[in-house]
């Protein structure tokens, strides 16, 4: 099946400028060769720690950041270098939900205005029909028409996230990128929003890319998962492949580091030493080798390729050498 969205060798490098004449003295390799696909109706999880490039990847896919290299193909159109005017009709179909709904909602607009605004921008809002549509969308995200006349500060965190979802949904998108959509919410509210996103996906035939650091949330929501480390995907596969049979030492450490709410369970934890290195000067060879418990000779010389270990399950690690001819 033809994927709805294909990202091929995406690169986003930020120049570091210094001095009087803003000389470029280096680059932050935020995203460095990321490839992924998203099929219609599918949910893809993008996980990793801060600085791994997961958010930058999301922003670049939406062209909210301009990629340094690579291609983004949406529904058969290469949108990588597309002009703003040609991009606009496609933008409607690709929407985003942010982590902190408060900072992404205009405090001087009522909720009705917030939801209607993107419709107006796209020339899709006309009078009473528009109002009805906004009311319908509000109801779909679990808010009442009365909520529409209020301002963002009058809402709790969970309700604000519902407003953020409504705004994204109003344009009838096909793809929604959720950047940490539930991580700022209380535990009891988190489940409500996850369930809402699952319901909306079926009803509106949506594809999701869920960017998150919480691996339990991603396991619950996603069909496929890609794990990122310092700008590169180190492992990807169906959720049960990655969670039940993690291959990359980083994925294993990440999964074992999560505190499990089960005091009766004996734990075997791999505690990684040190912090995530800076993406300005990533370590040579495999970027993970300085923290890797299984690093050996050669890991510090060449970056392994992302290779298919089993059908659909890819890993970027020299341990899986038999399949790594790169």
Contacting positions for another protein (CB under 8 A): 49-50, 156-159, 186-192, 194-195, 198-199, 213-217, 219-221, 239-240, 243-244, 253-267, 269, 271-273, 275-276
Q: How many CB atoms lie within 10 A of CB 72?
A: 21
Considering the complex, what minimum distance in angstroms separates the CB of residue 210 from another protein?
A: 12
Helix (H, G, I), strand (E, B) or coil at 212: strand
Q: Which is nearer to another protein, 236 or 241 (CB)?
A: 241
- Residue pair 66/245 in contact (Cβ under 8 Å)? The answer is no
Considering the complex, what minimum distance in angstroms separates the CB of residue 262 from another protein?
A: 6
Helix (H, G, I), strand (E, B) or coil at 188: helix
Closest residue by Cα to residue 44 from 248, 211, 182:
211
Considering the complex, what minimum distance in angstroms separates the CB of residue 158 from another protein?
A: 6
Q: Which is nearer to another protein, 123 or 261 (CB)?
A: 261
Write the CA distances from 286 to 30, 69, 283, integer angstroms. Answer: 16, 21, 7
Considering the complex, what minimum distance in angstroms separates the CB of residue 278 from another protein?
A: 9
Considering the complex, what minimum distance in angstroms separates the CB of residue 108 from another protein?
A: 22
239: Cβ–Cβ under 8 A, 6 or more apart, which residues?
45, 218, 219, 222, 223, 224, 225
The single-letter DSSP state of residue 267 is -
Give the number of residues written for the chain: 326
- Residue pair 60/72 in contact (Cβ under 8 Å)? The answer is yes
Q: Which is nearer to another protein, 100 or 219 (CB)?
A: 219
């Amino acid at each position: 099946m033809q994927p709805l969205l294909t990202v091929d060798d995406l690169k986003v490098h930020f120049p570091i400028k210094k001095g009087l004449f803003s000389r470029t003295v280096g680059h932050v390799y935020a995203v460095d060769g990321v490839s992924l696909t998203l099929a219609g109706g599918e949910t893809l999880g993008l996980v990793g720690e801060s600085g791994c490039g997961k958010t930058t990847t999301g922003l670049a896919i939406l062209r909210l950041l301009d990629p340094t290299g690579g291609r983004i193909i949406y529904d058969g159109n290469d949108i990588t270098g597309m002009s703003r005017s040609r991009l606009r009709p496609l933008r409607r179909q690709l929407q985003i939900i942010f982590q902190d709904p408060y900072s992404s909602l205009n405090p001087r607009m009522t909720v009705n205005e917030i939801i209607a605004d993107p419709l107006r921008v796209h020339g899709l809002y006309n009078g009473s029909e528009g109002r009805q549509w906004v009311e319908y969308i509000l109801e779909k995200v679990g808010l009442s028409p009365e909520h529409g006349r209020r301002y963002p500060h009058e809402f709790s965190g969970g309700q604000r996230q519902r407003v953020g979802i409504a705004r994204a949904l109003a344009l009838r998108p096909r793809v929604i990128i959720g950047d940490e959509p539930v991580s700022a919410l209380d535990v009891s509210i988190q489940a409500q929003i996850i369930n809402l996103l699952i319901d909306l996906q079926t009803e509106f035939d949506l594809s999701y890319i869920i960017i998150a650091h919480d691996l339990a949330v991603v396991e619950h929501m996603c069909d496929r998962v890609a794990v990122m480390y310092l700008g590169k995907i180190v492992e990807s596969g169906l959720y049960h492949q990655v969670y039940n049979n993690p291959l990359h030492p980083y994925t294993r450490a990440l999964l074992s580091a999560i505190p499990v709410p089960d005091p009766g369970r004996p734990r075997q934890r791999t505690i990684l030493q040190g912090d995530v290195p800076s993406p300005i000067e990533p370590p040579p060879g495999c970027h993970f080798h300085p923290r890797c418990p299984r690093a050996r000779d050669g890991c510090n010389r060449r970056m392994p390729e992302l290779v298919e270990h089993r059908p659909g399950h890819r890993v970027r690690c020299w341990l899986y050498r038999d399949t790594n001819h790169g």
